[in-house]
């Protein structure tokens, strides 16, 4: 079955540590996205990539980094510079181009990151 997989589902990080969240898709989608969800704030875009080896900052990129070396993979690193990293992180993918508009995104099941 085609889909998008995020791992791990739960992640605990000590303050001052970097941590990497995994996102893999086998939908042959060109574009991939990382969102953060906080209570009452909806989904906020962290980074997105529309093609391999290229990515752009979203609305809240500070303290995060990404890479897009393969079409299937878009890992997100939460660095120690991120002031408030505890949140629910969602990865998504979409067909690039016109098809993306009416079909929307396919989301993963999310990773809950907690700083301890």
d(CA 10, CA 7): 8
Record the tokens describing residue 78, joined without a space.
């939460």
If the CB atoms of residues 17 and 56 are measured against other proteins, the closer one turns out to be: 56
Give min distance, CB of 84 to other proteins, in A: 18
Give min distance, CB of 91 to other proteins, in A: 8
3-state helix, strand, coil in the chain (%, to 5): 5, 50, 45
- Residue pair 54/81 in contact (Cβ under 8 Å)? The answer is no
If the CB atoms of residues 33 and 74 are measured against other proteins, the closer one turns out to be: 33
- Contact footprint for other proteins (CB under 8 A): 4, 6, 9, 31, 33, 35, 40-43, 45, 48, 50, 56, 58, 88, 90, 92, 94, 96-98, 100-110, 112
């Amino acid at each position: 079955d085609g889909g998008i997989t995020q791992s791990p589902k739960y992640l605990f990080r000590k303050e001052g540590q970097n941590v990497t969240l995994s996102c893999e898709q086998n939908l042959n989608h060109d574009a991939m996205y990382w969102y953060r969800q906080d209570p009452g704030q909806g989904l906020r875009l962290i980074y997105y990539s529309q093609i391999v080896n290229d990515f752009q900052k979203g609305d809240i990129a500070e303290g995060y980094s990404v890479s897009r070396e393969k079409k299937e993979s878009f890992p997100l690193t939460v660095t120690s510079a991120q002031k408030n990293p505890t949140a629910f992180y969602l990865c998504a993918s979409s067909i690039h181009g016109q098809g993306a508009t009416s079909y929307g995104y396919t989301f993963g099941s999310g990773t809950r990151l907690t700083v301890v």
